[in-house]
Structure 1
């Protein structure tokens, strides 16, 4: 399946920003994906590098006063369907154990550990356990747009019982890490042919030690990743995989406008 993707991110500020530096992770990952063409437009010259997770990171800085900052990405990506949710075997990848310790956003408490206690039952097939967890998380944390912020943790979402795809992913990661199972956060897109306006999306990948492969699991959609997910970046949590993230001097209050359009093309 070939997709045409457009992603526009605009920050607006109540006061002039004197200086800002931004890190952009908006380049589709490889694996089961092939970039046909892809462009990222930023307001200043970009420097490209790879971070330790293997993500392509574009960095730019703006040294003059500004009250608005826009990053635009667009292009075509071909997606190959995954077999049973498993990604192709990675070469030169980080040791999966890197994704085992909890982070501030994926801390867990005893209730969450008990909530996912069935994960230790190795008599249940691995993918079935992961899918069961996805269903349990989605049922526990009702999808409620605007109910959380990017700073909210897995424990906060678990206790409040509401959140969005980012929170579903963080809760899943917390539950998995509570039982020592390597899992990582994924940022990207989910193509829904029945909607015109899309959003950024998030899900998790869990390492299946018996197969030595990562399994994609989408709690928001209660499904294994198949053919409609486009991967942008992976990390321990949202912070390391955020599409656009940076620091600034000045600016006052900040507002964010994100527009994502995805179309299937022949």
Structure 2
């Protein structure tokens, strides 16, 4: 499937910003099952200082603000050919050792609520059955809801709230999978929705490493493994390591962010 993506993030500040710096992980890579035909990033109100690969082999653009800006806009557009591989990404590559994907982070630390969830998961005949059962149990226990969308909720926070968005589902799945002995990681990217073109946020899911297949994706919020509607962009141990945009700025200006996104089949 040939997908086109147009993603705009606009920041407005109520006072001039003397200095700001952002890390942008918004460049998908070609890999088995995903061919990036073209991809461009434009920055209004700043400039790309340098591009590099991080420890997860994500392409990162470091963007600086022009001094005194009250608006910054980052726009990426591109076309990606995606093949349906039933969520199978393949074996680990890059610079990170496999054991690191079993290490908990501040957002993915297991607690008593996680253990209670794990007690309800029925192990299947093989790893895939078990991980799909885990995904289903999470969605049943934590229904999808946009009532909260904070970026800093831990897996225990999400279980306590009893609802969450795709980012929350990914954190709960990652935490549970690691507790069950599977290396797991967070994935940020895009999903072509069946019922709309316009969206107000990118998407997130999780991947677990299965010995016979390598990395396999699980979109807990939708109860499926990623197919040809998904564009993988960045991976990390949790959201903080794969966030599309993160950074810092000087000054006390209040920030207002708006996002517009279109993902459609060409």
Q: Shared fold (TM-score greater than 0.5)?
A: yes
Distance 1:62 1:7, change over 3 A: same
Q: Aligned partners of 1:37, 1:46: CA distance in 2, in Å?
A: 21
Q: CA RMSD in A?
A: 1.7
Deviations 1:33-80 (A, max 9, x none): 111110001231341100000100000212401111111100100001
2:242 aligned residue:
241
2:19 aligned residue:
19
Q: Secondary structure at the match of 1:174?
A: helix
Distance 1:146 1:255, change over 3 A: farther
1:28-67 alignment, distance < 5 Å? 28-31=28-31, 32-42=33-43, 43-67=46-70
Q: Secondary structure at the match of 1:104?
A: coil
2:108 aligned residue:
106
CA drift at 1:120: 8.7
Q: Aligned partners of 2:78, 2:18: CA distance in 1, in Å?
A: 32
> Is contact 1:10–1:258 with CA below 8 Å preserved after alignment?
yes
Q: Aligned partners of 2:19, 2:12: CA distance in 1, in Å?
A: 14
2:4 aligned residue:
4
Q: Aligned partners of 2:101, 2:94: CA distance in 1, in Å?
A: 16
Deviations 1:76-114 (A, max 9, x none): 0000111x3211334445222211111111111123123
Q: Segments of 4+ in structure 1 off by > 6 A?
A: none
Deviations 1:206-254 (A, max 9, x none): 0002x15101000000111222111010000011111111100014222
Q: How does the TM-score come out when normalised to structure 1?
A: 0.93
Deviates further, 186-195 or 250-259: 250-259
Distance 1:184 1:154, change over 3 A: same
Q: Aligned partners of 1:162, 1:213: CA distance in 2, in Å?
A: 30
Q: Aligned partners of 1:158, 1:25: CA distance in 2, in Å?
A: 28
Unaligned runs of 5+ in 1: none
CA drift at 1:17: 1.2
Q: Secondary structure at the match of 2:195?
A: coil
2:145 aligned residue:
144
> Is contact 2:185–2:237 with CA below 8 Å preserved after alignment?
yes
1:1-266 alignment, distance < 5 Å? 1-31=1-31, 32-42=33-43, 43-82=46-85, 84-92=86-94, 94-117=96-119, 121=123, 124-198=125-199, 199-209=201-211, 211-265=212-266
Deviates further, 49-58 or 64-73: 64-73
CA drift at 1:166: 0.4
Unaligned runs of 5+ in 2: none
Deviations 1:114-154 (A, max 9, x none): 31246694x62111111111111112112111413011111
> Is contact 1:2–1:78 with CA below 8 Å preserved after alignment?
yes
Distance 1:231 1:47, change over 3 A: same
How many equivalent pairs are there? 262
